[in-house]
Amino acid sequence: MKTKTVTLIVLLFTLLISCSQENQVEVKHERQNGLIVPSNYEDEDICCIYLPKDGLNVFDQPDGQKIGILTKNIESNTGTEAGYRVYFVDNNSKTETKIEIANFKEIGYESFSILYFERKDGFVRIINQSVDYWLNENEIKNKKFRVIDWQQFFMETSGQLLGFYANNPGIDLKSEPTKNSETKKLLEGELFEITPTNESSGNWTRVKVKKYKEHPCETELDAKDNLEYEIEGWIEIISNDGKPNLWYYSRGC
């Protein structure tokens, strides 16, 4: 009887570990907070605020009812600034509500992305908590756009932007991708330029860091003289809920 009890306990423990591992994988796959970006940034039809030319259907919940469309194509949206105006057009009332540009994220010079802050069952929730606007990931993909989390964004744009910098109060640069590993340096301020590599482990990303004597945008020193030292290590590039731990200059110097 005692042997059976021990065996049962071992089986239950194994099952709990298995379930925990599956949940960890799911969290990573369904990571909250990220961006909706074009598959091809060079398409002229998606200028300014990135959105498919024919818009995206909006749902009231994952796999719910279509309540409208997110689009630039309304009769009054004309002129040179049309690419910066996105509207939610209600299916029933036909009301056209402009989405303020503050709800989008500038990811390059005068180029803005739709942000998502919740992801569930193949849908992403956008804009803000005041509205239930959900987009279908399959439709996004079929219209040649992608849903990416912030970690993926940092890795993909490494070297394309001026540089990435740690949010206040700074980020510990670790020797290994664990909180308990040696802290090599506290990265804080704009003199530590962080460049992500393609190597990651959970929320951790291996990075290369340049420590400057003066900010590259403000110095008269040449690049060699301005570089104080270089160092590599691991940082938690995003928080547990997928929010970015880095910021960047979207418009350069």
Task: Decide if 91 contacts 68 (C-beta within 8 A).
Answer: yes
Q: Rounded to whole angstroms, how far apart are CA atoms 31 and 26?
A: 8
Cβ count near 18 (within 10 Å): 10
Q: Which two tokens stand for residue 136?
A: 């279908």
> What is residue 50's predicted lDDT score, i.e. its pLDDT?
96
State what percent of residues in the chain have pLDDT above 70: 88
Retrieve residue 126's tokens: 């956008």
Domain that holds residue 231: 164-248
Last residue of a domain, one of 80, 114, 149: 149
Q: Which of 7-16, 76-85, 113-122, 241-250 has the lowest mean pLDDT?
A: 7-16
Task: Identify whether 184 is part of a domain.
Answer: yes
The three-class DSSP label of residue 195 is strand
Structure tokens at 46: 């998606």
Residue of higher predicted confidence among 23 and 142: 142
pLDDT at 44: 66
Q: Same domain, yes or no, for 209 and 232?
A: yes
Q: What's residue 87's pLDDT?
A: 98
Asked if residue 23 is part of any domain, the answer here is no
Q: Highest mean pLDDT range out of 12-16, 42-46, 55-59, 127-131?
A: 55-59
Mean pLDDT across the chain, nearest whole number? 88
In a shared domain, residues 115 and 175: no
Residue 222 lies in a domain: yes
- Residue 10, both tokens: 């071992």
pLDDT of residue 152: 95
Classify residue 28: in a domain, yes or no. no
Per-residue pLDDT tens digits for 196-214: 999 999 999 999 999 999 9
CA 10 to chain centre: 40
60-111 per-position pLDDT tens digit: 999 999 999 999 999 999 999 999 999 999 999 999 999 999 999 999 989 9
Q: pLDDT at residue 15 above 50?
A: no
Residue 2 has pLDDT above 60, yes or no: no
Q: Is residue 26 part of a domain?
A: no
Question: What's this model's pTM, rounded to 2 decimal places?
Answer: 0.83
Asked if the structure places residue 159 within a domain, the reply is no
pLDDT tens digits for 106-157? Answer: 999 899 999 999 999 999 999 999 999 999 999 999 999 999 999 999 999 9
Conformational region of residue 94, where left means phi above 0, alpha means psi within -120 to 50, and beta covers everything else: left
pLDDT band at 30 (very low <50, low <70, confident <90, very high): low
Mapped to the 3 state alphabet, what secondary structure does 211-241 carry?
A: EECCCCCCCCCCHHHHEEEEEEEEEECECCC
- Per the domain annotation, does 154 fall within a domain? no
CATH of residue 201: 2.30.30
Domain end point (choices 117, 149, 181)? 149
DSSP label at residue 181: S
Q: In this model, does residue 240 exceed pLDDT 60?
A: yes
Please tell me whether residues 41 and 138 are part of one structural domain.
yes
141 and 169 in a single domain? The answer is no
Query: Backbone dihedral region of 238: left (phi > 0), alpha (psi from -120 to 50 degrees) or beta?
Result: beta
Q: Is the peptide bond before 169 cis (omega within 30 degrees of 0)?
A: yes
Are 222 and 120 members of one domain? no
94 falls within a domain: yes
**Do 178 and 231 share a domain, yes or no?**
yes
Same domain, 196 and 145: no
Give the count of domains, the chain: 2
pLDDT at 46: 75
> Is 216 found in the same domain as 132?
no
